[in-house]
Structure 1
Amino acid sequence: MSEPTPIRAETPWLIRISKHFASFTDEIISDLEAKKVKALGEEYSLIQCRNPLRLHGTDASHFIRWNLPLDHTWPCNPQKMEGFIEKAAQTLHDKFADKGLQGIFIGILDPSARDGYYKAMAANLRGRTLQIFGDEAKGFRAVEEQDATKPSLFCMVGKEGLFCGIQSPQASNGFYPGGTKFISQKADHTISRAGAKIAEALHYLPLHRPIPEEGGHWLELGACPGGMSSELLERGYEVTAIDRAPLDERLDKHRGLHFIKADVSEFEPSSRASFDALLCDMNGETRVALAQVIRLSKSLKPGGLVVFTLKTAGVESYVEINDHFKAALDQAVNGWLKLIAVTHLTYNRQEFTLFFERKRGAQPEKGGGQGPGGFW
């Protein structure tokens, strides 16, 4: 992963902490060695951070869904400001036209707002800004075509005003302003909310590595009722799904699906099995679920992907969740898995989505014990 661009210590920051972890906000900001200036919207905080590098790689960082250094702020009530869009768009051009941007993306500070006013304002502001940039905008990239390591201008607008900054999508932890892409689900076509979770994860993953190619083979552990399997199948993947309970009948005879009705702990893939990715969203004790992931990851191709949901149900405090996270990470690393990213998705509750790669190189045979290479 690329290192975040060095930022002046006096630069204010916008950080997003999911409502599911809102009770930990003060502890998270304290761990950042930062000072909270004010809350913005339901999930955002404006902070003053003495050491911005603490936003990455600390106990607090995996709670921060998205972050942005603020190069320009305009505290106001846009709804009551005459000519707000025109004035804001002109200011964005005047301040940022010469910054070598790969794109301009504008979102809203309150994603839960139901009236759509600021969502429309964000779209209109971006449209007018691109018009003013004119020829300079011809080379701008679409949101998911951004180079994860190159600078973009992200802006957030809401009843508190306009907040803008330049940073790479990877350093901000999302291609979209505010984080990952929201996946809308239609009740009559949805098997479970987990389908949106893996869809969102696949929009996030290119921040760190390419997603598995279409036609790739996924192994899903604890697949019932089949929401994630359904989403993967619709994207052109082959899926081997394991669960004691049957999948939703809408998946019966679906092309590319291989369903094995069995307890995950009893499933043994053939010696010839070779998967491109492994997916685990199982409930239950993390240590037990992760042990099965490690055991079955021997059937992944070298460099194969693991997407694992770290559940924290029953783990109450900020300190306990961090201890839980560290224990899971230690277990995974000892099991020959390399962490490449961690985030909180829209459809995550009090849980995190972790992305691992199977380490390349020689590995101990099954039963070979624990050591620096891991255990099977």
Structure 2
Amino acid sequence: MPEIPAADSFLLRIPDVFAKHSPEILGKLGASPLKKLGSDYQMVRLENPATLQDSEWAAFVKWRLPIHHAWPCNPQKMEGFVEKAAQAILKKFGDSQAQALFTGPLQTSAAHPFYKHLATNLRGRTLQLFPAFPVKQVEDQDPDQPTLFCLVGKEGLFCGLATPRETNGFYPGGTKFISQNTESTISRAGAKIAEALHYIELYRPVPKDGAHWLELGASPGGMTSELLARGYRVTAVDKAAMDDRLKIKPGLAIVRNDVDAFRPSEQETFDALLSDMNGDARGSLRQVARLSAHLKKGSLVVFTLKGAGTESPEELIELCRAARAYAEASGLRVIACTHLTYNRHELTLFLSREK
């Protein structure tokens, strides 16, 4: 495979919840801002691109893309944009041997669908010009093989070749749309665990069908419902009541108790653990570490690190640093730390029980 060229600039997506802290975040990453794009993208130059993989501050960057081709223009006012852009992409990346091509809009939250449709049309035309890509569906990508990602918006076209793990997501822009039917959805937390299970595939397989999850702080049951819908069994622990719609669900055991008072039998084991508990993050992690003794070796832990009480990214980083150290000391290996689309002022830690 041809070597991926070095990029002069990058697109970094900083979530809206941290937007006012963008100068601090970019400074910690050694990034020099060039231009704001869309609602939450920054075009930057980096002193050392490796910081996007190595720095703890990278947790505040939802998605990152090396820019190997940029065409500043206004597509909405340009006749024949799709054809011209597709031909330019072919000329630039025709020999790249990318595993797939995926496109998306820069303005992901825009109410007007023009650029979403434009991105779809651009992908369709470009696929007609290229030799067949081996991967057709987003979920089938190899996290370690390069994909050609293209974003389009009122500022123009921006393309880059990178592996999904390097970009921090399988989808262009890093966001997977998760439908939330207001009539059937118990809470928005269901979308959070759905996204988390999608994200972790950048690093390891998700738990197998029928796996038994221990969920801490489960009420009212948004995450529980999502896990059950995926064919998992769940033991849900919370002193508060669960949604009545869950009480007849097969595969669910509800424990109405404080998490710190929950004592599984010595023989009881779980395949995965999920914690979205409110309150002090350190106290929540202590309960996770205690109950991880009931996890099988290699089990996945998904832990929401709540930022309550922190007023700046620096303080949240310090909290995350302490959480990582405590987890490692407790026999839980840190796999990744990121800000999910459905997170608020919090980060999600992915851990694995090693002992």
- Match among 201, 206, 213 for residue 208 of structure 2: 213
* Match runs of 1:68-79 below 5 Å: 68-79=65-76
Give the secondary structure class of the aligned counterpart of 1:288.
helix
Structure 1 outlier segments of 4+, above 3 Å: 5-8
**Gapped runs of 5+ residues in structure 1?**
361-376
Give the secondary structure class of the aligned counterpart of 1:187.
coil
1:280 matched to 2:254? The reply is no
- Say whether the 8 Å CA contact 1:31–1:59 is kept in structure 2: no
1:31 matched to 2:28? The reply is yes
1:324 matched to 2:322? The reply is no
1:52 matched residue in structure 2 = 49
1:17 matched residue in structure 2 = 14
Task: Supply the AA of the counterpart residue of 2:331.
Answer: W
Give the secondary structure class of the aligned counterpart of 1:137.
coil
Give the secondary structure class of the aligned counterpart of 2:274.
strand
Moved more, 95-104 or 318-327: 318-327
- Say whether the 8 Å CA contact 1:14–1:69 is kept in structure 2: yes
1:171 matched residue in structure 2 = 166
Hey, what's the Cα distance between the residues in 1 that align with 2:5 and 2:349? 27
- Match among 109, 114, 135 for residue 112 of structure 1: 109
- Say whether the 8 Å CA contact 2:149–2:160 is kept in structure 1: yes
Task: Supply the AA of the counterpart residue of 1:94.
Answer: K
2:292 matched residue in structure 1 = 297
- Say whether the 8 Å CA contact 2:99–2:133 is kept in structure 1: no
Hey, what's the Cα distance between the residues in 2 that align with 1:259 and 1:319? 38
- Report how far residue 189 of structure 1 moved: 0.7
Deviation sequence 1:100-155 (CA, Å, 0-9, x none): 1100000111111001111111111111111111xx12523311100000000011
- Say whether the 8 Å CA contact 2:238–2:259 is kept in structure 1: yes
Task: Supply the AA of the counterpart residue of 2:312.
Answer: S
Q: Residues 342 and 6 (structure 1 numbering): CA distance in 2 closer, same or farther, change over 3 Å?
A: farther
- Match among 223, 227, 232 for residue 237 of structure 1: 232
- Report how far residue 318 of structure 1 moved: 2.4
1:350 matched residue in structure 2 = 345
Deviation sequence 1:172-220 (CA, Å, 0-9, x none): 1000011131212010011000001000111111100000001000000
Hey, what's the Cα distance between the residues in 2 that align with 1:300 and 1:226? 22
RMSD (Å), alpha carbons: 1.2
Hey, what's the Cα distance between the residues in 1 that align with 2:226 and 2:326? 29
TM-score, normalisation: structure 1: 0.92
Hey, what's the Cα distance between the residues in 1 that align with 2:135 and 2:243? 43
Hey, what's the Cα distance between the residues in 1 that align with 2:4 and 2:71? 23
Task: Supply the AA of the counterpart residue of 2:149.
Answer: F
* Match runs of 1:48-197 below 5 Å: 48-133=45-130, 136-197=131-192
1:41 matched residue in structure 2 = 38
Hey, what's the Cα distance between the residues in 2 that align with 1:94 and 1:140? 20
Aligned-residue identity in percent: 54
Hey, what's the Cα distance between the residues in 2 that align with 1:318 and 1:252? 39
Task: Supply the AA of the counterpart residue of 1:90.
Answer: Q
Hey, what's the Cα distance between the residues in 1 that align with 2:213 and 2:135? 34
Q: How many residues align?
A: 353
Deviation sequence 1:79-100 (CA, Å, 0-9, x none): 0011000111111111111111
Q: Residues 138 and 37 (structure 1 numbering): CA distance in 2 closer, same or farther, change over 3 Å?
A: closer
Give the secondary structure class of the aligned counterpart of 2:86.
helix
Hey, what's the Cα distance between the residues in 2 that align with 1:202 and 1:258? 21
1:201 matched to 2:196? The reply is yes
Hey, what's the Cα distance between the residues in 2 that align with 1:204 and 1:113? 23
1:368 matched residue in structure 2 = none
- Say whether the 8 Å CA contact 1:7–1:52 is kept in structure 2: no
- Say whether the 8 Å CA contact 1:101–1:140 is kept in structure 2: no
Give the secondary structure class of the aligned counterpart of 1:28.
helix
- Say whether the 8 Å CA contact 2:71–2:158 is kept in structure 1: yes
Task: Supply the AA of the counterpart residue of 1:247.
Answer: M
Hey, what's the Cα distance between the residues in 1 that align with 2:80 and 2:254? 58
Hey, what's the Cα distance between the residues in 1 that align with 2:134 and 2:329? 45
Hey, what's the Cα distance between the residues in 1 that align with 2:158 and 2:325? 38
Moved more, 57-66 or 70-79: 57-66
- Say whether the 8 Å CA contact 1:180–1:204 is kept in structure 2: no
- Say whether the 8 Å CA contact 1:182–1:346 is kept in structure 2: no
- Report how far residue 163 of structure 1 moved: 0.4
